[in-house]
Structure 1
Amino acid sequence: MQSTIDPAEVAKFEAMAAEWWDPDGKFKPLHMLNPCRLDYITAQIASEFDRDLTKRGAFEGLRILDIGCGGGLLSEPMARLGATVVGADAAAGNIPVAQVHAEQMGLKIDYRHTSAEALAADGEQFDAILNMEVVEHVADPLGFLTACQQLLKPGGIMTCSTLNRNPKSFLMAIIGAEHVMRWLPKGTHDWSKFITPDELFDLLRQAGLDPVDRKGFVFNPLGWSWSISDRDLSVNYVTASVKPGA
């Protein structure tokens, strides 16, 4: 299976690998967004598999893939909820950072330097896939999402977040985040690779998945906080889709 990895995109994140767990470093935007991401992810998985998030080990028995795991900002909370977690990343430098931090936290997570296509070729199967802020960095979004679909068990669920493509997202994600606030190095994002919600839903359907939900992640500059919105998908947004056949 042909790889959808974009070497130039991988190199960007490889250069920042050591800063994954610095809340004031180059990944500050993700640290700020992470509570919102986790609220959405856990609610979707809990609903799909009828799990009670108030109970200890709510995700026990579930096998979860965090594709594009970076330093493990999402993998670790999934492991704390009792899931068996595989964290995969195309940037080799991210893996030892994630491994060391998980060890320090006393968590057992299977981190691998690999791709969605390679995992699919190996016949790996997962109940849920976290596909967060990855699709805008791959060379072939449809090929990538198709590999993810192959990795899901029938009845499995994937959460996929990315950036909308419009003038507002260019102003906020490129000019604001990279040039004004300097939260990210210049060139981290390529606006032309951003994907509108309708385009992503279409890609998910072409990949063999059923989109079931989409929400916006909205930044409030006055409260310096993020929230989940039913209506505002103008910049950051997230989707949920399921694999039919359960």
Structure 2
Amino acid sequence: MAKANVTNVTIRPEEAAHFSSLAREWWNAKGPMASLHQVNPVRLAFLREAVDLHWGGDIRAARPLAGKSALDVGCGAGLVCEPMARLGANVTGVDASVENVGVAVAHAQAAGLDIRYLAGELAHLDLGTFDLVTSFEVVEHVADKRAFLGQIAASLAPGGLLVMSTPNRTAASRLLLVEAAERVGYVPRGTHHWEDFVTPEEVGDLLAEAGMTMGTPRGIAWRPGKGLHLSDTDLSLNYIFTATRAQA
């Protein structure tokens, strides 16, 4: 197995600045980050199912991550960290934005949740490994996708589980996620750059280079009357997947 590159810088200063400017609005479900609040239940439903399948847990358990460590990379202000903490995990959140981390810390404290938040380049933080690593809507914003996924892989403990999501690079995502969504204000202008979107095949190849095996992706799709939902067939806008360390 080729050794993953875990030293390259992946943070784009302009991306960090963009999301820093939105930090104080992160938890406002009707503000500029409303789209994240709408997609979060879909992502969390996939995450819960993946956790139960991976560790063979009781689907009725309130705290299926009890005793496990979890890392959310590109955590923003904590929309995924807080639910994982409530599921019992010992959670660490890492983000490129100091402002996001400040808001995340304050929100977690107000909610009575013990979550460790850090700002900076993942490879430079020397955090060790985690049972569960998540990264939602992040890889499309980094400067070096190969290095980033190498860092992600290096953060996963043996037998651990990775869960990620990202927009697909398709004609539909260009029209709806970039042009239409930003024009009508569904997402803040400048959030997405279509040429930086990655396909499932590209992600799978990069994960394989890092010694990971990607599971079958599912789409996060939208249709009138149903809204955002998981789909086994429609990956044209966004997709979510698991990955585990490849067997020798």
> Which TM-score tier does this pair reach, normalised by the shorter chain?
over 0.9
| Deviation of 1:154 (Å) | 1.3
Equivalent positions of 1:119-130 (< 5 A) are 119=125, 122=126, 124-130=128-134
| Deviation of 1:48 (Å) | 1.0
- In the alignment, is residue 189 of structure 1 matched against residue 195 of structure 2? no
Aligned to 2:169: 165
| Deviation of 1:245 (Å) | 5.2
Aligned to 2:238: 236
Equivalent positions of 1:95-244 (< 5 A) are 95-119=101-125, 122=126, 124-180=128-184, 182-223=185-226, 225-244=227-246
Aligned to 1:74: 80
The runs of 5 or more residues in structure 2 that have no matched partner are 1-6
| Deviation of 1:104 (Å) | 1.2
1:1-42 residue CA offsets vs partner (Å, 9 max, x unmatched): 222111111111011000110001111111000110000111
AA partner of residue 137 (structure 2)? E
1:118-137 residue CA offsets vs partner (Å, 9 max, x unmatched): 23xx2511011111100000
1:113-167 residue CA offsets vs partner (Å, 9 max, x unmatched): 1222123xx2511011111100000000010000110110111111111111121
Aligned to 1:91: 97
Aligned to 2:53: 47
Does structure 2 retain, via aligned residues, the 8 Å contact 1:154–1:245? Answer: no
Does structure 2 retain, via aligned residues, the 8 Å contact 1:68–1:132? Answer: yes
The runs of 5 or more residues in structure 1 that have no matched partner are none
AA partner of residue 217 (structure 1)? I
AA partner of residue 205 (structure 1)? A
Q: CA RMSD in A?
A: 1.4
Percent identity reads: 40
Task: Find the residue that maps to 1:23 and give its secondary structure.
Answer: coil
Aligned to 1:12: 18
| Deviation of 1:53 (Å) | 3.5
Task: Find the residue that maps to 2:67 and give its secondary structure.
Answer: coil
Aligned to 1:28: 34
Task: Find the residue that maps to 1:94 and give its secondary structure.
Answer: helix
Does structure 2 retain, via aligned residues, the 8 Å contact 1:27–1:184? Answer: yes
Number of aligned pairs?
242
| Deviation of 1:176 (Å) | 1.6
- Write the distance in 2 (CA, Å) between the matches of 1:185 and 1:123: 32
- Taking structure 2 as the reference length, the TM-score comes to 0.94
Task: Find the residue that maps to 1:93 and give its secondary structure.
Answer: helix
Task: Find the residue that maps to 1:213 and give its secondary structure.
Answer: coil
AA partner of residue 201 (structure 1)? G
Task: Find the residue that maps to 1:99 and give its secondary structure.
Answer: helix
Does structure 2 retain, via aligned residues, the 8 Å contact 1:130–1:160? Answer: yes
- Write the distance in 2 (CA, Å) between the matches of 1:57 and 1:197: 31
- Write the distance in 2 (CA, Å) between the matches of 1:85 and 1:234: 31
